[in-house]
């Protein structure tokens, strides 16, 4: 299974968690989770196929986890299986999604969410509503 496929399969079950996936000497974060990294760590969000990606070296994982623990943001470290899971009462994941995003980043984020929702049974209703508003 490809990194992206594994990520989105996990994301279905853990919607409000940051999912960090080990790939070689880096951890990668995809999709909506990238914007949390941008807002918390000021990481650059990079285009990756039909989604976005942030990567960081293995040796910075403890710093990332310490920060998420302090900010009470749910997270999962995945290395072929779930190796570590931080779950907090009062998860602050949503608080760090849209903060400080430019208009272009917000549009990109919405595009990513729509791509992730392609298999959602309500996708037609969602698209109809967007088209109605626009």
In this predicted model, what pLDDT tens digit does every residue of 62-107 receive, in sequence order? 999 999 999 999 999 999 999 999 999 999 998 888 777 888 888 8
Q: Residue 119: is its pLDDT beyond 80?
A: no
Condensed to tens digits (0 to 9), the pLDDT of residues 23-74 reads 999 999 998 899 999 999 999 888 877 788 999 999 999 999 999 999 999 9
Q: How far is 99 from 104, CA to CA, in rounded Å?
A: 13
Compute CA distances 102 → 8, 27, 77, 78, whole Å.
25, 25, 28, 30
Whether 19 contacts 29, CB under 8 Å? yes
What percent of the chain clears pLDDT 90, i.e. is strictly above it? Answer: 54
How many whole angstroms separate alpha carbon 49 and alpha carbon 67?
Answer: 29
pTM of model > 0.85: no
Model pLDDT, residue 55? 94
Domains within the chain, CATH numbers bracketed: 3-133 (3.40.1170.10)
Residue 4 is predicted with a pLDDT of 81
Work out the end-to-end distance of the chain between its first and last CA atoms, rounded to an integer number of angstroms: 37
Please, which pLDDT band fits residue 118 given cuts at 50, 70 and 90? confident
Half-sphere exposure of 38 (CA within 13 A, CB side): 21
Q: Which residues, listed in sequence order, are joined to residue 43 by a DSSP beta bridge? A: none
Tens of pLDDT, residues 103-117: 888 888 888 888 777
């Amino acid at each position: 299974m490809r990194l992206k496929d594994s990520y989105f399969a996990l994301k279905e079950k853990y919607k409000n968690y940051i999912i960090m996936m080990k790939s070689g000497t880096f951890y990668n974060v995809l999709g909506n989770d990238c914007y949390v990294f941008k807002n918390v760590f000021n990481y650059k969000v990079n285009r990756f196929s039909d989604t976005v990606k942030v990567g960081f070296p293995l040796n910075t994982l403890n710093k990332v986890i310490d920060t998420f623990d302090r900010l009470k943001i749910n997270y999962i470290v995945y290395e072929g299986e779930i190796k570590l899971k931080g779950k907090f009462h009062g998860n602050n994941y949503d608080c760090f999604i849209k903060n400080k995003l430019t208009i272009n980043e917000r549009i990109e984020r919405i595009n990513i969410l729509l791509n992730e929702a392609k298999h959602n049974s309500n996708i037609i209703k969602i698209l109809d509503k967007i088209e109605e508003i626009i």
